Structures are given as structure tokens and as C-alpha cells.
A and B are shown apart, each in its own frame.
Chain A
């Protein structure tokens, strides 16, 4: 497929809520390109309300592919369905929701179309030449790469919660039903089971108090625990404290847990890019460090230059008074 027959922006996700987020991303790109935005719905049966929902959230056109063999997600049958739409109406840009299923579907579709796909884009835009430019994390999350897709359709996956779901509005849109031949799936699902949740995960903690090499000995973690208790927080640490000293079992960072709390308090943490890769999604970062040159201050919202052995207990006390605990 080549030439100038590619037109418009097309979005697909098997996850209904992520599809709406993709419509937000797609709307911006389509307006920039002066081209229509279409959404793809695939399933055994696709209810009328989902078609309406896609239109209200920004789609100019909705492609519907229904087939009993498409009742459950299967990468080969869904690939066939998506290729059917792309062949019917080749888009310039094809965005796929970056769930795990979306990320096994997108490269398979890209391979069939002999095009490129940028995985997990955290932003997408159209440059002056009309090319799709994406920014995505690389090197375990310690760097951001800016990439451009040079073949069409230009493909990208977008993880959940990068774009906000657009406000619904009364709009007009067209619904196009397409017939598709679906192959017999070769991979058969034998069993589906709910995930066993292994207790409380630090990824889910709303507040985290973390220590780095500024903590001199294991017993001193008590200072962090006391602060954590007032805040209803979890205690975490950097790699050396866990991997080298074995003071705690797990660490936060590139090779450990990636967290996204509302509040992250870094105590005696210098802020290597490996550690920062694990906390970049925190809402507010506080750094307490005696070294005013420490890189952690460059990525913190609030910094206190001072001895953590004095500042942390003072903070615990101040919070106790303020929060009445």
C-alpha cells in the first residue's frame, strides 16, 4: 500500500474507556491534518450505544465489525478485522490503545502493513511536513525518545490515562458496517482467572516516604517509618538500600517498582536517573537532602536543604500537630 490514498486518523482499542481517550488524541491530530477521525468497534455484537458514544466523543465515522468469531479478543481474528478496515479506508494515522492486548495486536498489524509503530507514546503531534511525531520512554524509562514514523499508515500505541476523555457533545457521525472474513483462531483459551492480588502493592500507595544512601544505618529507617505512620504512607527505598544492604526487600526505580503516589518524600536520595525513572509519575515530590547540589532538587516540587536526621523528625512533629494525630 502506498501513494497518497491514505487519509484521516483511525483509532481502535478493545477497552471502551481507552477508546474514548484515543478519540481525544485522534481529534487533535485529525484537526491539524484537516482530515476525518474514525473509530473502529470490533466484537461479536456491538451495541448501538457504543456507536453513539464514539460519535459523541469526537468520531466523524464509526466502523463496526461484527462476527460471532470476534466475540472474544484474539490477536489473529482481531488483526483480520482491523486489516479489513484499513484496506477499506486506509488512514494516514492509526492509533491503538496501549493495553497489553493492544500492544500485541499493534505490531502484528504493523508487520502485515509493512509499516512502523511507536509503542506507548506519551505525546503525539503532527509536524510541519504532516508526519506523526511521538515521544516515548526508552532505556527502561530513564530517557525520552522523540521518534517519527515515515511510512503509512503511521502507527502508534497510547497507554491508558495519557489523554483525558473528551467532553461528550451532540455531534453527527456516520456508522459504517463492514463484513469481515474471520479465520479460525489457532490459540485457544483454556481458562481465564482473576488476578490473584498479592497483598498491598507499593504501586497503589497514595503517599510514599523513601530513603536513600543519606540514611546511615538500618535502625534509622525508623525515622521514615514514624513519618510514614503520620501520613498513612508506605516506606520505600532506593536500589542500594535493598539490593546491596538488604535493609528492605524491594526498591523503587528503573529496575524495581515504578510508583505514582500523590506525594513522594525523598529523604537522603541523590536522584540518579535510575531512581527518578521510578517516580516520574508522582504528583508532588518533596526532597530532603543535605547536599544542595543533589540532582533530586531538580526534579522535586519542594526541597529542603538540610540534615534529614533533623528535618524528618521535625516534619513528623509538624504533621502530627497539623493533622491532629
Chain B
């Protein structure tokens, strides 16, 4: 039997982002949202552990009313309980405040053997929430995990590092962050989607989690985002003028020789 809590974030669909040509800022408003790809694989990994060893999976997300769609999807994939952490005071939370909120909710749920999440969400790319939650809860952390199992009451995982792979084991409870390669998430059946739509989503606000105003949102954060723009690329932007394709090709080859990129 294993009790798993999986942390997910619903993020804007990155394939839909366009840049405003005038301001060079990304247009994010009104974009559809979905579970961040790596987090979805954490859900799949949690459900697979439950199917193999028994137990239950709770899914947890900090968000707004739209986040219910993501939580429903996780329920349809096989999670048993869903918690939405929602409060206007949570807005503007960076990883410091977000981890505090998640850790408070995990403490409130109380019973768990494993906490799972993606190594990072693809919108912020900060890769901090897993290790921060582990620190706040005083738990061991197993990061970049690409295969996961339980053995004699311990968690065993294969980690994907730069130059090597590492097989590690740790006592539970523990925090595990997974990489994209861990699995292919299932597509829930119509039946499970129907069943999931009848499940209750528990909602907790700041007070329910026993957090002060200074601990959450912008007030409880340390990193402020000043600006988000399309990357400036320092490029030559030289258009090769020529009468014919042959002439253009020859001039380009000369330029590439000068650049020293031909061999």
C-alpha cells in the first residue's frame, strides 16, 4: 500500500504563444491551459505505483477556478482525491511562496509516503518546487527520476544525470521529481472521465492552510519578474541581394567561408 500526493500545475499551452510584434512581449492572455507535460507524467507514475502496490493518490494544485479542468483530468487518469489551493492572496507567488503553500497543504492532508511532481514546469522552467517542498517538510529528495518502484518499504529510482545514470534508494516518505522519459501518460477512457466528473474537488484557501498573509503571494515571495519579452537575437540579418539563385548561392558560400563554419 502506498499513499502518493502528486503536485501539478496547469500552464498556458506553449505551442499557442505568439509575440506582439510591436511590444515584443508574448501574448499570454486568453490562451488555453493544460497540465504541464512533465507534471502529467508524475500523475501517470503515481497512478502506476497505486495500481501495482495498492493505496491511493491525491492530486494537488495551486491555481484558480480554471485549474479544476486539470484536476478533473488527473482524477480521470486514476487519482482518487483532488485538492485545489485557491485564494486571491496566493497571486504573484514565486517558488518560495508556492512551496510554502504546497507544503502546508501536504501537512494538512497528513498521510503520505511519496510526493511526486515534474522536475520543472515548462512555463517558469525554475525546477525548484520539488526540492523546496522536500526541504520544508524535512524529507529526502530523489530528483530527475526516470524509473521508479518500491522495494521493502523503500523507494528505488533511476536518476537521469548529465554524464551518468544513478540508481538510488531512500526511506519513505520522500519527494520524487520525474523527467519526461519516465512514461507516456495514459489517455483516460470516457468511463473514467464520467466517473471523475462526479468526484468532489476539495478547496482550501489561505486560512484553511493556516498561513499568514505575509507568507504567500507577492508579500511572501523573494523573486519579482520585471519583464518578459521575446528573446533578442543578436544576428547580422544580412539579406543577400543577387540576380539569380546561382549568384545568391555563390555569395552565401563566400560569407560562410569568412565565418569559418564550412569544413
Please give the residue numbers on chain A whose beta carbons come within 8 Å of chain B beta carbons, in ascending order.
75-76, 79, 99-101, 103-108, 110-112, 114-120, 133, 136-151, 186-195, 206-207, 231-232, 239, 254-255, 262-263, 273-274, 276, 280, 283-286, 292, 297-307, 310-311, 314-315, 317-319, 322-323
Please give the residue numbers on chain B whose beta carbons come within 8 Å of chain A beta carbons, in ascending order.
12, 14-15, 17-19, 26, 94-96, 99, 122-132, 134-136, 140-144, 156, 161-171, 174, 221-233, 235-240, 242, 244-246, 248-250, 252-253, 255-257, 259, 261-263
**Chain A contacts of B132 at CB under 8 A?**
107-108, 110-111
Contact with B162, one of A100, A193, A280 (Cβ below 8 angstroms): A100
B169 near A187: Cβ-Cβ < 8 Å? yes
**Chain A contacts of B222 at CB under 8 A?**
114-116, 149-151
User: 28 A-B residue contacts at CB 8 Å?
Assistant: A75-B141, A103-B127, A104-B141, A104-B144, A105-B131, A107-B127, A107-B135, A108-B131, A111-B136, A116-B96, A116-B222, A136-B125, A140-B14, A148-B223, A150-B221, A191-B167, A263-B256, A273-B26, A274-B14, A276-B233, A298-B233, A302-B236, A302-B240, A302-B255, A304-B249, A307-B245, A314-B244, A318-B253
Closest A residue to B132 using CB positions: A111
**Chain A contacts of B12 at CB under 8 A?**
139
Nearest Cβ distance between residue A84 and chain B, in whole angstroms?
Answer: 16
Closest B residue to A144 using CB positions: B231
Nearest Cβ distance between residue B230 and chain A, in whole angstroms?
Answer: 6
**Chain A contacts of B130 at CB under 8 A?**
107
A-B contact count, CB below 8 Å? 259
**Chain B contacts of A115 at CB under 8 A?**
96, 222
| A163 to B169 alpha-carbon distance, docked (Å) | 35
Nearest Cβ distance between residue A275 and chain B, in whole angstroms?
Answer: 11
A300 near B128: Cβ-Cβ < 8 Å? no
Interface on chain A toward B: helix, strand, loop, or mixed SS?
A: mixed
| A147 to B228 alpha-carbon distance, docked (Å) | 9
Contact with B238, one of A207, A254, A302 (Cβ below 8 angstroms): A302
**Chain B contacts of A186 at CB under 8 A?**
140, 170-171, 174
**Residue among B125, B229, B244 having the largest count of chain A Cβ atoms under 10 Å:** B125
Contact with B164, one of A150, A187, A194, A323 (Cβ below 8 angstroms): A194
Given contacts A110-B128, A117-B223, contact A304 B240 (CB under 8 A): yes
Given contacts A147-B223, A232-B263, A280-B233, contact A255 B14 (CB under 8 A): yes
Nearest Cβ distance between residue A152 and chain B, in whole angstroms?
Answer: 9
Contact with B94, one of A116, A141, A300 (Cβ below 8 angstroms): A116
Nearest Cβ distance between residue A71 and chain B, in whole angstroms?
Answer: 15
Nearest Cβ distance between residue B76 and chain A, in whole angstroms?
Answer: 23
**Chain B contacts of A105 at CB under 8 A?**
131
Nearest Cβ distance between residue A144 and chain B, in whole angstroms?
Answer: 5
| A99 to B127 alpha-carbon distance, docked (Å) | 12
| A317 to B233 alpha-carbon distance, docked (Å) | 30
Nearest Cβ distance between residue A224 and chain B, in whole angstroms?
Answer: 15
